[in-house]
Amino acid sequence: MSIKKILTTAFAVAAISSSISWGQTLTCSGGKEQQMGSTGGYDYELWSQQGAGSATMKLNVSAENGGAFEVEWQGTINMLARTGKRWGSNSNVTVQNVGNITSEFEVEWSSTDNVKYVSVYGWGYYDRGDEPSGFSNEIEYYIVQDRGSYNPTSGGKKWGSAVIDGISYDFYTTDRINQPSLSGTSTFKQYWSIPSNTSQHRTKGTISISKHFSEWAKAGMKMGKLYEVASMKIESYTGNTGTAKGYAKVKKNLLKIGGSADELALNVTASPAAAGTVTKSPSANYYAPKTNVQLTAKANEGWKFVGWEGDATGSTETISVTMDKEKSVVAKFELVGETTVNLFKDGDFPSGSVISTSQDASWFLGQGTNWGNSAAKTSVAGGTATVDVTTIGSETYQPQLVQYNMALDKGMKYKLSFKASADADRKIEASFQQSVDPWGAYATKEFDITTTEQEYSFIFAMEEDSDDAAQFAFNLGQATGAVKISDVKLVFTTAEPGSEGGENPTSSASVEPGSSASVEPGSSASDPGQFIAGQFMVQGAKTFQVFDMQGKFLGKVDVAAGSSMNDVLMAKFHKSGIYMIKCGSFMQRVAVK
């Protein structure tokens, strides 16, 4: 994939600093490309190519959270928002004399764009004589923490890899030919640190920026003077499609410059993250060599501490580690019963402000152009959210009521429960999935909702890699009309998937073994309760989503007209059993022997 990304020179030229008050909102739209300046010791920039669409940035700079900010964009071509430190082109600051550079960050973000980054970003220079033949002395660099499905290093040159802050990074260079740069238009190199595995993407933690510079140099990626370091940047690119849409809240961007680069990082985490806490004494992210650090684990209600993993061992709640190298330590907890803490934010819908179409609230109403031209509106009264669907979209999930940034831990079991009713009998779907392309489903279940309020529940096991930024959605595109939802809860449980019982009674009709059924998706014969034990013949070529009976998404299958679904499922998954297949609003259980 070739992306003709246009970078602004605004952040790459001498700027006229402006004094921006805390909380002020900056806007790029209507042809206005760029807003930049300095406030509270942080340089900032908001940029939107050609001023297309709309991008807004709210500065929340503080001593506690550093260069924190929020940014929202829609209909943009290429958008970036960032805060950090800019020394400029005439500075003598180098990666060697600047001291130790670190960043503590925390981000919540959601976007439908495939090309997007949460990263450290900046520009630097080669020392004289080090620049590659045919290239300028300018270097554009990224230290990626999270991204969309597009891998920006595809086609680049890999120079090496290293573990930094407990994450395995690969180091790449890519070429930018005759593109906007610090000097106007030039041919220059890009440096990349990118996690080796997407499972190591993260939205909070500590970034040892100087250690990346050091490891790059060891690998042969040299850099001398620094123009800037944007310790946190949000970027989105969609080209001229006008489909860009997203929101990011950089809750912390604490940039620290100075001190010794010899200090060692100690990363501690609780697993699962919601199970407990770990404290360090003395409390810091970096320590001088040979420092002794006391770690104490404390379990939350419903959990018990079981031991330490990583660069520490033992089962006592308090241990001591000696900093003779960089270390990553994990406190492991075990569930002892169903928890009571709701993992959803505002699942009790305390006010109408918790639902928004601008992704800055706990719940997001997805409708309109990017949701199949569906239309819906919401209201909240007495702890109940009403979603009035006036137009359904082109897919059955459109429109949808979404909560982003849900942390789901591999190997854990969860129980979803909620109350619901509708102004007419209908179906709705609850789904947990990736919040980025390919939007892989972790668990999904369809519910039959009646005009009488009932409580519904769904237990599922998270069998995929942990995802700290998953999304949950009520998919409401099956029918128009009003749906009332309340008391939405998600808790950890020890119960097994399928043990809920009692909700959504379905038909027990079946096709006898040896017989066959032929059903066209979209026909009236679609009934997820109907169990087809014989051959299931597909009339028209279709693509089906496939789930197991616990609601776990298994993958997709392309089925040719006249083919046996049973045979296709066996060829794809090599396992007998009962599968749930779905195509649009059509759902069906099929037995494979």
DSSP H or E segment with residue 84: strand 78-86
Structure tokens at 537: 């013949």
Provide the token pair at 286: 């970096």
What are 566's two structure tokens?
Answer: 């049973």
| Run of H or E residues at 339 | none
Identify the residue whose tokens are 């800019």. 86
If 0-12 CB within 10 Å is exposed, 13-18 middle and 19+ buried, where does residue 119 land? buried
Which of 45, 70, 104, 140 is flagged as catalytic? Answer: 140
**Residue in 121, 119, 115 with CA at minimum distance from that of residue 246:** 115
For the chain, the distance separating the N- and C-terminal CA atoms, rounded to the nearest angstrom, is 42
- How far apart CA 478 and CA 429 sit, in angstroms, is 9
Which of 122, 101, 105 minimizes the C-alpha distance to 66? 105
Residue type, 190: Q
Q: How far is CA 174 from CA 49, 122, 134, 153, 505, in A?
A: 22, 15, 14, 7, 57
How many other CB atoms sit within 10 Å of the CB of residue 120?
26
Q: How far apart are CA 85 and CA 70, in angstroms?
A: 18
Q: Measuring CA to CA, which residue among 9, 138, 5 is closest to residue 79? A: 5
3-state secondary structure of 566: helix
Catalytic pick from 215, 235, 263, 446?
235
Please say whether the beta carbons of 30 and 50 come within 8 A: no
Q: Catalytic site residue 45?
A: no
Here the tokens at position 216 are 């790059």
Q: Tell whether the torsion through CA atoms of 429, 434, 438 and 442 is positive or negative.
A: negative
* Catalytic site includes residue 455: no
Catalytic residues: 140, 235
